[in-house]
Structure 1
C-alpha cells in the first residue's frame, strides 16, 4: 500500500487537479482502512468533477465505512439520491437504506432496500420490502416513489404471467 500511495502522490504532484488521480489515491486509502482520509480525497475529486456519480458513491461509501455523525449521514442523502437517479449504480439505493436506518427512519430504509432489490431484478424480495415500507409512515415524497415502485412491480407481474 505504501508503494501504491507513493505512485499516486507522484501522479497528483504532476496533475493536482486531476480528479481521477485523487480518486485513485482515495481508493488505495479506502482499501487500507483509512476511511476519513479516503473520504476527503473523494470529496476533493468531486470538487473537480461534481457530476460524477461514481465519485459521489465512492465518497458515500468512505463516509459510511467510518463512524459518520448524524449530520454527515443527512448530507449523504442528497448525494446518494443523485448517484442513484439514473439506475447505473443500484448500490446507491443500498447505501440510502443504510443511511436512513442509521438515522432511525426504518420505513425509508425498507423502501430503499426494495428499490435496490428491484434494480437487481430480485422482484419478490423487493415486493416484500416495499410492502413492509408501505405499512409504516413514509415521508410524502418517498411514499409517492414507493407507489410508483408498487405499480412497476404490479406491471412486471402481469408481464410475467403473459409470457
Structure 2
C-alpha cells in the first residue's frame, strides 16, 4: 500500500508515493530525492546534522515522519543559495571558518538560518551558542560558527536597513 504526499522542497512541488508510513523526511530527502546535503549523523535527534526548515521552523529530519508533513514547505541546504550567490549565512560560514571537516555544516547552516529567521540570534554570542546548542560539531569549530551567525545577522540587518531607506 503506497501513501501519497505532496511536499514543496526548495521551492519545487513534489508528489511522492511512500511505500512505508515510517519513512523519515531525512531518508526521503536523501534516498528518494537525491538531496544528500542533509546528513545522517546520530539518527536519533541528538546531533543536528539533519536539520532542515519545515514551514520555516528548524526540524531534525531524522525524527520527522514524512507522512506527517503532507503539504509542508521544506528548505534544505541545496535550496539556500540563490543561483551562484551564496546566502549570507553560507558566506559568513566561509569567512569565519565555521567548519572543519564539514559534515555538520549543512545542519549548522540550516539551524543558523532558522535561528535568524525566528529573530532569536541577536547580537550576543552566548545567545547564539544557546540557540545553536542542538547542533554538535565533533571538530569543535564553535567559535567560527558563532562568529558566522553573528556576522550573518549583522549583514541581514544592514541589508534590511538599506532597503528601508
Task: Pick the TM interval, shorter chain.
Answer: 0.3 to 0.5
With normalisation by structure 2, the TM-score equals 0.34
With normalisation by structure 1, the TM-score equals 0.34
Q: Which has the higher contact order (CA 8 A, sep 6+)?
A: 2
